[in-house]
A and B are shown apart, each in its own frame.
Chain A
Amino acid sequence: MFTMHPTLLVGPADWDAVRMPKDEFLGRIAAFWRACDPEISAAIVYGDARSHSELAYLTHFTPKLEPAIALIGRTGAPRLLVGGGVNMLAAARPLTWIEDLLPLRDAGATVTRWRTELGSQALALLNGDAMPFGLRQSIATTLGTPTDMTETVAAAMRRKSGREVALMREACATLDAVIAAMRAAQSAARGMTDVVLAGERLAHQRGAQDVRSLFGRDGTLAPFRVPIAMPADPLQVYVAVRHGGYWAEGFAVLSGSAPPAAAKARAVLDEVLDLAKPGTPHRELARHVAAKIGAACRHPVIRDTFGGSIGLGLPQPGCLAETGDGRFAPGETYTVRVGLTDSAGSAMVSAMVAITGSGHDVLWAGGDS
């Protein structure tokens, strides 16, 4: 889901060794190497403020300002190259368990020296498509074409550990509180922007790492641009909250009444959630939603993708889609979305679930209460 990306990530992102011990990261790295071709003995992991799920998964580091690159070998201590020069390293240190921090300057030469130290020829690259074009070209010039192993890590990231699910539950609790705060502000007849800001403020007060909102009337969604003093009922909102690195997202219709479109979307959502269980193909859930809504009533925001895997990143298009080729598996966490628009109005609602051995646990039920 696209939201308006901020110029700087300002929320709390320090590494908490109690909540997410170093051993958990070392286990992830060990699993990565087991999945790699034995010839590959070094990995370059790129992350920037917008796209850093893989980097956070392996290092906990969130690049708040400039990009970062982790250099992880099969042997030896990993290194983290942090943008912004040597004076930025102290501020970056609390954000990661990695001890060897260096400035991200002349990345191509730095990576080449590191590869020489390791005596490695074959390299893996993670999240290379997010690298700036010029940087990727410079790496290709000096290092050739590393093997793209992004999907290997993405697959591992879909299955959450107990610690990860615990953090996601906290993110969902904050999401729930945010939606409740927005409902309360709307009940007090506050303007659209004030309603959204009431929720955002609560998210920050609860220690959210990030919060993103979209909102609008008549089934539309838009980012904050300038304040809108006019109240709205119903008001459609989309909120994404990040807590301890993990995202929770939700669509909700805020209203003092019971809009028929919202009730219908909610009924479809409640029905299809039963399909979120181990072994069910993603496309089965998606086709069920599509059939219930009808082709003519699809909401443009949730047109083809009825949710997806969520965690260190927000869902990407194509997971819970009619053409999706995956299946639900235990340990995975999903957001499931239903949107419709018809003569009765427009509405988008959603829920979040964790897939268990036999079904699912609801992480966020939709914020209706």
Chain B
Amino acid sequence: MGLTFDERLTAICARLHDRRIDLILVIHDGAHFIETPNPVMVLSGFKSLGPAICLLDRAGATTLIVAPAWDTGRAQALCPKARVIGTDDVVDGLAAALPKSGKATIGTAGLAVAPFGLAQRIVDLVPDAVAADDIVFDAAARKTHDEIAWAREATRIAELDYQHLLEVARPGMSEDELATEIRWHSKSLGAEDNFVLLCASPHNRAVAPSNGRHVRDGDIILAEITPSYCGQLVQICRTIVVGPAPDLLRRKYALVVEAMNAGIAAAIPGARMADVCGAVNAVLEQQGYGEYCHPPHIRRRGHGLGFASMRPGDVALDNATVLEPGMVFMIHPNQYLPETGYLLCGEPVLVTETRAEPLTHRQAALAELR
């Protein structure tokens, strides 16, 4: 159900041809923010330390410009088919690498979210370039065979991280301590990074970055555990009660799991992302929580996964993206309920030929710290 990396590049080249673009120039600043798709990784697979630019022409030739210059060897080893230019200033490197004729039609991706100081210099260099982010990111909606394998490994690590969290968490620890412990644990298992969004409160309004607050009896710990393995992010969303869970909380959590399962069942090839969101919402609306199915309580019921691309995008009512085999994304109801506060519940799924396959071996269930 996946594709090869070369097939992805071929698809991008075909769209360049269709749009009469000779060359696409993509940029990433090396700040690997989870909400900012990385077009350099789409075209090269390279996760950079600093700013990086990748050029792909219609014929499929790739040039990777990386900073700092001393990181060139790593780039060459990871991207053997690309021409790699190491430089301490990627815009200078770009100027040297661009076609000299000046007549090429150039498309760009990643420019709008690149830092101004970098992006403005590129705009000055190629003032007539046109935005073509869609060409790059659409092609990355379906994962490669490698990315699917990495997603499975990242999921394995995420589940072990969660087990570790259950083992080490105790009242008196700060949210920060727990988050750093899980991040470290994840790395010890082979993940190069982990987006650990973790917080605790008796009544959470949302899941937020950790701070110095100390966990107390009666808290509900929310954890988005999101390891990255070889650059492929996967997430699990879990909820833990410090102490025995009240019956009301158990019932409400079961409702959220039911909503998630409705979403997973709806995520079949040919369905739209909006349908998945609608299926999740329907379960909650039926129980009278329609008001809480919209902002500010909830913005989306999941999202694409991977540094390489956030396609197929958000699990949201306004996302008409049609699901295809090979897509990997999160389904997480992550619902605020007035009786319990915010509850996290979510699984990564792979769209197969027939269904959405949860990548996890154990589905989210309300856990208790005794």
Contacts and interface: CB of A to CB of B under 8 A. Distances in A.
A10 B196 contact: yes
A91 B47 contact: no
A70 interface: no
A207 B115 CA distance: 31
Contacts of B176: 10-14
Most chain B CB within 10 A, of A3, A51, A133, is at: A133
Interface stretch (B206-214, B244-252, B264-272, B350-358): B206-214
B113 A132 contact: yes
Interface in A1-56: 2-14, 48-51
Contacts of A144: none
B113 A317 contact: no
B31 A2 contact: no
A221 B50 CA distance: 14
B180 to A, nearest CB: 4
Interface stretch (B184-192, B255-263, B273-281): B184-192
B181 interface: yes
A225 B212 contact: no
Contacts of A357: none
A185 to B, nearest CB: 12
A132 B115 contact: yes
Interface string A301-321: 101000000000000010000
Given A2-B50, A7-B193, A65-B197, A94 B117 contact: no
A88 interface: yes
A13 B206 CA distance: 19
Given A7-B228, A224-B187, A49 B33 contact: yes
Contacts, number: 153
Contacts of A85: 206, 295-296, 299
Interface string B213-237: 1000000000000101010010000
A301 B72 CA distance: 11
Q: Which applies to chain A's interface (DSSP): helix, strand, loop or mixed?
A: loop
B208 A4 contact: no
A140 to B, nearest CB: 9
A206 B180 CA distance: 11
Nearest to B208: A91
B31 A48 contact: yes
Contacts of B367: none
A7 B226 contact: yes
A197 B187 contact: yes
B85 to A, nearest CB: 15
Contacts of B119: 133
Contact of B205 (A3, A90, A92, A128): A90
A10 B31 contact: no
A221 to B, nearest CB: 7
B34 interface: yes
B116 A131 contact: yes
Interface string B330-361: 00000000000000000000000000000000
Interface string A124-151: 0000111111111100000000000000
Contact of B117 (A130, A134, A135): A130
A136 B121 CA distance: 14
A127 B54 CA distance: 26
A10 B208 contact: no
A300 B208 contact: no
Contacts of A129: 115-118
Given A4-B192, A85-B296, A128-B116, A91 B209 contact: yes
B116 A130 contact: yes
A369 to B, nearest CB: 25
Nearest to A12: B176
B199 interface: yes
Contact of A132 (B112, B179, B233): B112
Contacts of B196: 8, 10
Contacts of A14: 176, 211-212
B200 to A, nearest CB: 11
A204 B49 contact: no
B162 interface: no
Contacts of A94: 211-213
A164 B110 CA distance: 37
B33 A300 contact: no
Contacts of A71: none
B221 to A, nearest CB: 14
A84 B299 CA distance: 11
A226 B227 CA distance: 13
17 contacts: A2-B71, A4-B47, A4-B193, A7-B226, A8-B34, A8-B195, A10-B176, A12-B176, A13-B211, A85-B206, A91-B208, A95-B211, A129-B116, A133-B116, A137-B116, A197-B188, A225-B230
> Would you list the 8 A-B pairs with minimal beta carbon distance, nearest first?
A129-B117, A91-B208, A87-B206, A133-B119, A50-B31, A14-B212, A136-B116, A10-B179
Given A88-B209, A133-B116, 9 more contacts: A8-B197, A10-B183, A10-B196, A10-B209, A84-B208, A94-B211, A128-B116, A132-B114, A226-B192
